[in-house]
Amino acid sequence: MNNLRVYRTVAGLRAHLEQLRSTQTIGLVPTMGALHQGHLSLISQAMAEVDLVVVSIFVNPLQFAPTEDLGQYPRQLEEDCQLCQTMGVDVVFAPSPEEMGMDTNTDVTSVTTTAVMPPHSMLSMLCGAVRPGHFPGVSTIVTKLFNIISPHVAYFGEKDAQQLAIIRRLVADLNLRIIIKGCAIVRESSGLAYSSRNQYLSQEEREQSLALFASLKQAQLAFAQGERQANALVETVKQVLALTPLVQVQYVDLVDPQTLTPLEQVEDQGLLAIAAYVGSTRLIDNVMLRVRQPIIAIDGPAGAGKSTVTRRVAQALNLVYLDTGAMYRAIAWLVLQSGVELSDYGAIAELVSQAKLEFLPPFEGKPPQIYINGQDISQAIRTPQVTALVSPLSAQASVRAKLVAYQQQLGKKGGIVAEGRDIGTNVFPDAEVKIYLTASVQERARRRLLDFQAQGEENMSLEQLEHDIEQRDYLDSNRCLAPLRKAVDAIEINTDGLSIEEVIDKILNVCPK
């Protein structure tokens, strides 16, 4: 078990992290304590994806109105630290309000320190409309945590969907170099979403609160049957909730999950959200409604057969094989043509950030095509000179950022199968199916030896190939940028002793029909 460090001061935390930052990726899980299974799922995902996990525990006065439950909100730091210790968390940051520069004033509009104000358009719906100071208070403290900890990744639950959208906007608007990960809602076996406030509920209230998720599921069913109109979907929720006397609805809204603007109908995706009082306890819940074909994300170590399998799975499902390798080759071709030195990171970032990339999937028998700045380079990217640049360029943050953003844009409508190191953890964390394709070092070395022998290469030994693969696995798993990680919700398939057809069948068996 690891040695959990608990820091109460900014100075102590910064000094601890500073000596580790250059060699380890840091993940932040911001909480207000009273940890439950929802928080633990965030911690589990962080543990699987980064090297060092910081959990902040701070009951933020700024996000409570004077009439809300700041004084009553559960505080159990000792128990929370024990849970973090058990989970393998590295650091808990538990500052006082004074350490965070706050006084007892809980009105964010009256504090004497700098406050962060999200766009008004993101505050006029959902919880923002009924809790006017809440999200400015959240945004202020989260920005402070980001500045204090400087995490590479921060993890937030999707239950607080408005908070997640606002934090993503904050990071984009302030040009913060932090990846924001939204993590799926975790529910009790009854369907009730985990919340620190659930402990306020009586047994009867707990039973009545199940109507929230039941109403959302009824709307999901209507959506699956073709209903797209917001009024009808909202009314479906309200009709179910009306049957439960202890549930007093505060709002039921359908909004764009990124901008939070109200929707009249769902074109691509919509966030259907509820806030209600069950007795005196305020609860929230939501579901995402998407109009898209599935995304299949296939990750795994080098030599596991991902490329061949991914192409065949895409063909079997009549989906698009997203050739991410061709995109990196396109950037390599552009850099090669520009004459920029590989060591000139600034010039490469300037060049790549302004490039217009276009990937055209196969159509009517035509092979996929890739354009950059309007020029078809589908054949030009297959030269040895381009190939030699792909690996060093893929290690540059500006190149990764450009291509991940483009791949995510292509994935909005779904209908794609993609493979890599972090497709399921970073590029498409909301993929409908995540596969982690692996094989033993010995099996991968054996396959590679057969490939070399088929090409007439007879001077390679199995022992050398095993050593090379072990080294590659270590480097891929420990790189700061896009390390090889298995997504916590990925299905692992070990391909030892399996034919390509058997691997494909296993994947197809777990894909939506």
Residue 32 assigned to a binding site:
yes
Ranges assigned E (strand) in 439-512? 491-494
Residue 77 assigned to a binding site:
no
Candidates 336, 339, 358, 340; CA nearest to 349 is 340
Paired sense of beta strands 369-372 and 375-376, if any: antiparallel
Residue 63 assigned to a binding site:
yes
Q: What is the DSSP letter of 512?
A: -
* Residue reference for tokens 């520069």: 101
Question: Catalytic residue at 39?
Answer: yes
Distance of CA 476 to CAs 421, 437, 479, 486, Å?
8, 15, 6, 12
The gap from C-alpha 107 to its chain's centroid, in whole angstroms, comes to 32
Residue 400 assigned to a binding site:
no
Helices (H), 245-383: 306-317, 324-338, 345-353
CA distance 461 to 449: 7
Residue 12 assigned to a binding site:
no
Residue 38 assigned to a binding site:
yes
Residue 197 assigned to a binding site:
yes
Number of CB atoms found within 10 A of residue 328's CB: 21
Residue 7 assigned to a binding site:
no
Edge-to-edge, what's the strand order for the sheet holding 52-57?
Answer: 5-7, 91-93, 52-57, 26-31, 153-157, 179-183
Residue 137 assigned to a binding site:
no
CA distance 445 to 451: 10
Paired sense of beta strands 247-255 and 269-278, if any: antiparallel
Residue 215 assigned to a binding site:
no
Are residues 103 and 26 in contact, defined by beta-carbon separation less than 8 angstroms?
A: no
Residue 506 assigned to a binding site:
no
CA distance 388 to 471: 19
SS3 of 225-283: CCCCEHHHHHHHHHHHHCCCCCEEEEEEEEECCCCCCECCECCCEEEEEEEEEECCEEE
DSSP assignment of 177-225: --EEEEE---B-TTSPBP-GGGGG--HHHHHHHHHHHHHHHHHHHHHHT
Residue 467 assigned to a binding site:
no
Tokens describing residue 289? 């409604």
Tokens describing residue 453? 């022998």
Residue 306 assigned to a binding site:
no
Q: Which helix (H) or strand (E) holds 416?
A: strand 416-420
Residue 126 assigned to a binding site:
no
Residue 19 assigned to a binding site:
no
Are residues 425 and 49 in contact, defined by beta-carbon separation less than 8 angstroms?
A: yes
SS3 of 105-159: CCCCCCCCCCCCCCCHHHCCCHHHHHCCCHHHHHHHHHHHHHHHHCCCEEEEECC
Residue 503 assigned to a binding site:
no
Catalytic residue among 39, 120, 134, 467: 39
Residue 406 assigned to a binding site:
no
- Residues marked as binding? 32-39, 63, 157-160, 163, 186, 194-197
Q: Which residues are catalytic?
A: 39
- Residues marked as binding for ATP? 32-39, 157-160, 186, 194-197
- Residues marked as binding for beta-alanine? 63
- Residues marked as binding for (R)-pantoate? 63, 163
